[in-house]
Amino acid sequence: MDIRSQIAMVFHLDKCIGCHTCSIACKNIWTDRKGAEYMWWNNVETKPGTGYPTKWEDQEIYKGGWEKNGDTVSLKGAGKFKGLKNIFHNPHLPVLDDYYEPWTYKYQDLFTAPEGNDQPTARPVSLVTGEHVDVQSGPNWDDDLGGSPDYARQDVNLDKLTAAEQEAMFQLERMTFFYLPRICNHCLNPACVASCPSGAIYKRGEDGIVLINQQRCRAWRMCVTACPYKKTYYNWHTGKSEKCVLCYPRLESGQAPACFHSCVGRIRYLGPLLYDADKIEQAAAAPEDQLVDAQMDIYLDPFDPEIIRQAKENGIADSTIEAAQRSPVWKFVKEWKLALPLHPEFRTLPNLFYVPALLPTMAKVNDGVYDSTGKSLWNGVESNRLPMRYLASLFSAGNTEKIVAVMKRLMAVRTHRRSVTVGDTSREEAAAALEEAGIDADTADAIFRLTSLATFDERFVIPAAHREESIEMLESTADVKGSTGFGFKERPQRGL
């Protein structure tokens, strides 16, 4: 057993209101630079929708992620031979138009336009060329034009549904959507790391954050192809690839990443998980319907004394183990089994888990009367607005049982809390729902607390980074004593 620690995340989709505050927080800090304008390390997609970059989930187009290859996995579109074959021309790369051409407006024209009969206008100009552009699309046009045949109907996950199911989804009374915020998953089996010919991408040993060394990056862009989530981006100005850094400078100083910190819906949770690195290959190569379970088996119980002993032996700090015990991610993912990875079939073992959105209430039209379909909120999984198969395509590699179990648990918590606070459902009804979902009332209350009332420190459990230990691995601190610390890097204008 090779126990390591990973900073993992949970996004609670029921709470996301799609305000894009996270995206803006990230953009302001990290990607408001020349060459990075088109990047959204954090983006919020509307589902059903095509996403950003368009149809990123379709690996027949982009060839990202891993393929099962016997007992192991191999990269779908990159790697030694495939990479070498395409090293000077990689046809699977997304082009700028697959993302969107970033633009701004010539606001100065509003002030400087000569007097005339018409109102002056601020025309859009490209942030790449500086020329006038006809804006074709933006990073979240699914949202702005949600449900249109151009976006919602072209959702890649709809391919898993029958034609009748697809039609039903787009009936006015059933029509629905939810938001899917996405950042880098800081995977356990990252395809970007495996694909890099320069060895510039690495997964940090202490917390599993995946980073691109900007000095070593040689712009081969194999990571852009390899990442099935399309979360590495090529900066055309610097000639280097970039990706979400999980705000590691903030994490190292005990702060939550900017997108987590700014989230107004408080949908985001962050905390460490202990895992067994020896099981990664086996889990990544599991049969498709067992992928979620195989990944869950990797994460280890931080309360088990044997696990704690081995973790300490492996150099994991006590503070990290303690944080893993308090981790909200451990609770959502392993204890309550409410959160699932996004597209586990890409076999990268992502460390960002989603609590799927509960969209139960449904309407129907009866003799011209618009009414809800059932007596209660919950009429069983079959009448969920989103077909289970659609959610399974997103979160469990097609395994609908997993989704049904999560949905039942979520609904049981809601039924239970309604019987406690509102009283419109009976105690018996609530108890039956809890029984069916396999949880007790205390657990349901705990889920409710962490979902709705959690404080900042409960949502973000950030272990001390112990940077001093990392530095001691690289150099003797005694050598630099006296040459760092207080003083001047540049000569002051006066004095001295």
Partner 1 sequence: MYINRKITRLSCILAGLLLGVAVPSVAQDGETIFKQNCAACHTVGKGRLVGPDLAGITSQRPEEWLIKWTRSSQTLIKSGDADAKAIFDEYNGLVMPDQNLPDADIKAIFAFVASKEAAAPAATSAPAEPATNASNHAMPEEIAQGRNIFVGSQRLINGGPSCISCHNISYKGIIPGGLLAKDLTTVYSRFGGDAGIQGILGAPPFPAMTEAYKNKPMTEKEIANLTAFFNKVDKDKAGQQVSAQNPLLYGGAAGFVVLILLYSLIWVKRKRFTVKRDIYLRQLKSI
CB of 225 to partner 1, least distance (A): 11
- Rounded to whole angstroms, how far apart are CA atoms 228 and 394? 13
How near is the Cβ of 50 to partner 1 at its closest, in Å?
8
Nearest to 206 by CA among 460, 459, 469, 477: 469
CB 348 within 8 A of CB 187: yes
Both structure tokens of 55 = 């149809």
Cα–Cα distance, 43 to 27 (Å, whole number): 10
Least separation in angstroms between CB 97 and partner 1 = 4
- 203/343 with CB nearer partner 1: 343
- 220, 197 contact by CB (below 8 A): yes
Radius of gyration for the chain, computed over Cα atoms and rounded to the nearest angstrom: 25
Q: Which is nearer to partner 1, 53 or 463 (CB)?
A: 53
Query: Do the Cβ atoms of 433 and 412 come closer than 8 Å?
Result: yes
**Residue 60 CB, nearest distance to partner 1 (Å)?**
10
- Cα–Cα nearest to 415, from 388, 383, 445: 445
User: Please, what is the minimum distance in Å from the beta carbon of residue 489 to partner 1?
Assistant: 16
Min separation Cβ 205 and partner 1, Å: 36
Output 136 or 214, the one with its CB closest to partner 1: 136
Which CB, 62 or 260, lies closer to partner 1?
62
* Closest approach of partner 1 to the CB of residue 22, in Å: 24
The nearest distance, CB 343 to partner 1, in angstroms, is 17
- Cis bond upstream, residue 53 (ω within 30): yes
Q: How far is the CB of 160 from partner 1 (least distance, A)?
A: 19
Burial of 9 by CB count in 10 Å (0-12 exposed, 13-18 middle, 19+ buried)?
Answer: buried
Say how far apart CA 339 and CA 342 lie, in whole Å.
Answer: 10
The binding site for partner 1 (CB under 8 A) comprises: 50, 53-55, 61, 85, 89, 91-92, 94-95, 97-98, 136-137, 149-151, 154
For partner 1, give the closer residue by CB, 79 or 387. Answer: 79
Residue with Cβ nearer partner 1 (102 or 387): 102
